[in-house]
Amino acid sequence: MSKKITGVLLVNLGTPDSPSVPDVRKYLREFLMDGRVIDIPYFSRFMLVNGIIAPFRAPKSAKEYVKLWEQRGSPLKYYGYDVRDMLQQSLGNEYKVALGMRYQSPSIKEALNELKAANVERIIVIPLFPQYASATTGSVSEKVNEIVNKWQVIPSITHINQFVDHPKFIEAFAQNGRAMLDKKDYDFVLFSYHGVPERHIHKASVGSQCQLSSCCNKFHERNRYCYRAQCFYTTRLLVEALGLKEGEYATTFQSRLGKDPWVQPYTDEYLKDLPGQGKKRVLAFSPAFVADCLETTLEVGEEFKEEFMEAGGEVWDLVPSLNDSPVWVECLEDLVKTA
Ligand SMILES: C=CC1=C(C)c2cc3[nH]c(cc4nc(cc5[nH]c(cc1n2)c(C)c5CCC(=O)O)C(CCC(=O)O)=C4C)c(C)c3C=C
Ligand SMILES: [Fe+2]
Ligand SMILES: [Fe+2]
């Protein structure tokens, strides 16, 4: 009898197919028309995205993507392929690993078709977001279900919806951080996460309503889907792994879009006050991302650095993301084997 094969679907957010303005516009349209990302009624979202955001933002964003683009393309995508291949290698032929992107290519549908062609009897879906947010993990799960529900044979599906406290996820980031901390003296460590609108936090409050304040300093059963609480929890675990002390670090949120309030404190505002407090040498982590992308390399690594230097800072370095770290691949292997 032939062996049963388990399918593993890795899904990241997605990136434009090229840094050209039309491709960036196409990417922004698909991304921002997702009702889990801009959660307003369809008609208003359509007008906002197609009439304002995509046309005005695309040329500006395309310039940023040109700076990010490498020989192999967008790092978010090529590290996705590298990690897929490394994971396939370590899992062996009882598993079939595929990579999909929530927006643009390779699509989730193409990746699922690869798994279907391998006749997998079960699928483990791993959205590549350590913290659960409706806009990312939730959207991936919804899309996978929408596609698979149309199949004649629906395999059993396990969704991994967060891995903030997986010891190997923490160790992989801590390892990258230690390599920097051993080389240079820093007087502050900033953990900057991608933000979400405050409204998203309230909508995801299941057992207890988040007050968007110190309640997020605790992570427990009732607030386990609070994105803000998960970010603070990730910081605490990294602080422990790195042996940092109170006063030597902070958690902040970046990349806000639009006028609505997003989760705070905002990184761009927070960093400007640091030099005045004697914190002039900063090491920044971006632990909401598992691969370097526009939001890490350019926003944290370049834009924030410029703002920090203008405010009187002296050193601003970014810890590289997990990218193709072997410990990160071990984390994924463990998530698969224990799913
Ligand atoms: C880490 C998880 C992410 C969450 C949560 C998230 C929420 C979110 N994002 C936007 C708007 C934009 N995000 C953009 C880029 C981008 N976002 C993430 C991840 C999360 N987003 C990644 C990995 C990337 C980078 C992709 C890459 O190609 O490198 C962008 C596009 C970039 C730009 O034009 O500046 C936008 C826009 C919203 C509204 C949102 C809400 C919940
Ligand atoms: Fe984003
Ligand atoms: Fe909270």
Q: pLDDT for 81-111, tens place per residue?
A: 999 999 999 999 999 999 999 999 999 999 9
Q: pLDDT for 294-313, tens place per residue?
A: 999 999 999 999 999 999 99
Nearest CA to ligand 1 atom 23: 13
Amino acid at 237: L
Helix (H, G, I), strand (E, B) or coil at 242: helix
Residue 3 confidence (pLDDT) = 81
Q: Is 159 annotated as a binding residue?
A: no
- Would you say the CB of residue 288 lies under 6 angstroms from ligand 1? yes
pLDDT bracket for residue 222 (50, 70, 90): confident
CA distance 338 to 126: 12
CA distance 100 to 143: 11
CA distance 182 to 141: 39
User: What is the CA(313)–ligand 1 centre distance, in A?
Assistant: 27
User: What is the CA(148)–ligand 2 centre distance, in A?
Assistant: 26
**C-alpha distances out from residue 150 to 42, 70, 143, 145, Å:** 24, 37, 12, 9
Residue 205 confidence (pLDDT) = 83
Taking 80 as the threshold, does the pLDDT of residue 69 lie above it? yes
- Would you say the CB of residue 15 lies under 6 angstroms from ligand 1? yes
CA distance 209 to 207: 7
Q: How many CB atoms lie within 10 A of CB 338?
A: 9
- Would you say the CB of residue 74 lies under 6 angstroms from ligand 1? yes
- Would you say the CB of residue 204 lies under 6 angstroms from ligand 1? no
Q: Of ligand 1's atoms, which has the minimum distance to the CA of residue 24?
A: 34
CA distance 113 to 119: 10
Domains located in the chain, CATH noted: 6-163+326-337 (3.40.50.1400), 167-318 (3.40.50.1400)
- Would you say the CB of residue 29 lies under 6 angstroms from ligand 1? no
- Would you say the CB of residue 293 lies under 6 angstroms from ligand 1? yes
Q: Lowest mean pLDDT: which of 101-105, 194-198, 214-218?
A: 214-218
User: What is the CA(276)–ligand 1 centre distance, in A?
Assistant: 30
Taking 80 as the threshold, does the pLDDT of residue 208 lie above it? no
Residue 122 confidence (pLDDT) = 97
pLDDT bracket for residue 1 (50, 70, 90): low
- Give the residue among 28, 33, 101 at the shortest CA–CA distance from 65: 28
- Write down the mean pLDDT value for the chain: 96
pLDDT bracket for residue 160 (50, 70, 90): very high
Q: Which ligand is nearest to the CA of 14?
A: 1
